[in-house]
Amino acid sequence: MYEKPKVNVLLDTNIWIYLANGNEQLSHNKSKSLHFELFKELKQKQDDKKIEILISDINLQEWARNKIHVESLIKKRKATIIQIVNEYKNYCKIHSEEENIEAKINYDRKINELEIEIKDNEEHINSVETFLNHECTKIPISDTTKIKVWELAISKSVPFHNNKNNFGDATLFFSALEYISSDANNNLATIFVSNNTKDFCENGNKDKFHPELQKSINHNDFRFECKLDIGLAISKEIQDELEQLFEEAYLDRISFNCKSDYCIDIDGFCPFGYLDKKIRVVSEYEANIDPNQLSLFPELTAKRESSFVARGNCTFCGSIHIECPVCSELIPDIEYAVEFTCKECNANMVVQYNDIDGELEAIVKDELQKISIKKVMLH
C-alpha cells in the first residue's frame, strides 16, 4: 500500500551548495564529512516517507555549477599524493634505512587518508546526482511563473525589493506554489527552508513569509523555516555548523565596503560594515504634514504602508551608509538633519526624526523623485 509522505520540503540554493561541498565555499571551516551526514539523513527521511523533497531545474543547475568545487577538492588531494610520493622518494635517498622505515609508516598513513577522502567525495558526487535526478520530485517551471518572477524583478517587488538577485529562489518559490496548489500535490503541507530571511520574510520576523509573498499563498499549510528544522536526526555538530553557515551567508549578503572619504586606509584591507537596519523614506510633502491636523481626520492617522531600504554603519569609522531610495546606490557619511545629495542620481534628502511617531526618516526633497521613492522604517 502506498504511504504518502507527511510533508513537502523545498531547500534553497544555499542548502544544495552545502550538500555539494560542505561549508567550504561560505566558511573558513573546511568540513570533510558533515555535509555527508546531512545528505544521508535527508535521503533517509525521504526513503522512510517522512518527507518528499521537491526540486526544479534551478536546483539541478545549482548542483552542476557547484559540483566543480567538490571535483576541485579531489584534484587537489590527488596533486597532494603526487607531492608526498616525490618527497618520500627524495627523503629515502639521503636517509638511513632505519629512518626510511619510520618515514614509510607516516607516508602510508597520509596516502591512505587522502585516498579515503578522494573515494568518499567521488561517491558523494554520484550519490547526490542520483538522488537529484531520480529520487526527488521534480516540479515544472511554467511560463506563467517565469513571467511573474521577471515582472517582480523589474518592479523591484518582494523578494527583489532589496536589489538582490533572487531569480533562483524566487522561481523555486513560485513554482512550488503552483505545484502544491495542483492535484499532483495530494494536499501535502510544505516547508520552504532558506536562510534568506532578509528577502523572503517580514521585517523583524524570521518565522513568516513577507506579507507580499503571503498574499500569493493560497495553500493552508505552506510555511517558512530559516533553519533545517524538519526532524532530521543530525548531530549537534552539524546543526551548529549549519547555523554558522547560515549566519555567515546572511552577513555576506548585507555586508558593504565603506565608501567614506574619512575612513581608515590600510593597504590590502578594505573597511566594511553591515546593512543590518532599516530606515523609512517619505517625500517632503508627507514629512511636512502637521500631526495635530491629522488628528481631525482619523482615517489619515492609520499607520502608513511601508516598504524598506537598508542602513548600516562602517565597523571601523562608524560612518552611516544608506541605500538611495531612488537609485539604490550606497550613500556614505550621512549626518542627522544635514541635507545631502546622491552622487549617482542627484536626489536631495535629509535624515531626521518625524513628529508623528518619533521614527527616523529619510526625506526626499526633490519633487520629481516622489514617484520613484520607497517608504521605509528604521528597526
15 contacts 191 by C-beta, under 8 angstroms = no
d(CA 176, CA 141): 9
Please compute the mean of the pLDDT values over residues 254-259 and round it to a whole number.
Answer: 86
CA distances for 355 relative to 106, 291, 292, 348, angstroms: 74, 7, 10, 21
For cell 500569493, the residue is 216
Digit-coded pLDDT (tens) for 177-220: 888 887 777 667 888 888 777 788 876 567 788 888 888 887 66
Whether cis (ω within 30° of 0) applies to the bond prior to 271 is no
Residue 241's closest CA among 9, 76, 73, 21?
21
Neighbours of 48 (CB within 10 A): 11
Give the pLDDT score at 227.
67
Q: Could you please report the per-residue DSSP string of 149-171?
A: HHHHHHTT-TTSTTS---HHHHH
Look up the pTM and report it.
0.60
| Rounded percentage of the chain residues whose pLDDT exceeds 70 | 72
The rounded distance, in Å, linking the Cα atoms of 180 and 342 is 44
Residue of 286, 266, 284 whose CA lies nearest to 364? 284
**What is the 3 state secondary structure string of 105-150?**
HHHHHHHHHHHHHHHHHHHHHHHHHHHHHHCCEECCCCHHHHHHHH
CA atoms 327, 333, 337, 339: torsion sign: negative
pLDDT (0 to 100) of residue 141: 92
Query: Residue 357's pLDDT band (boundaries 50, 70, 90)?
Result: low
Q: Residue 140: its pLDDT value, please? A: 92
Residue 57 reports pLDDT greater than 70: yes
The string of pLDDT tens digits covering residues 137-147 is: 999 999 999 99
Output the DSSP codes for 78-97.
HHHHHHHHHHHHHHHHHS-H
Residues 332-344, mean pLDDT to the nearest whole number: 87
CB 59 within 8 A of CB 13: yes
Q: How far apart are CA 231 and CA 235, in angstroms?
A: 12
CA triple 28-33-81, angle to 5 deg: 80
Out of 99-113, 244-258, 327-341, least confident range: 244-258
Buried b (16+ CB within 10 A) or exposed e, 136-174: beebebeeebeebbeebeeeeebbbbbeeebbbbbbbbb
Question: Is residue 303 over pLDDT 60?
Answer: no
Compute the average pLDDT of residues 294-322: 68
Instruction: For residue range 15-52, list pLDDT tens digits in order.
Output: 777 777 664 444 444 456 777 888 888 888 889 888 88
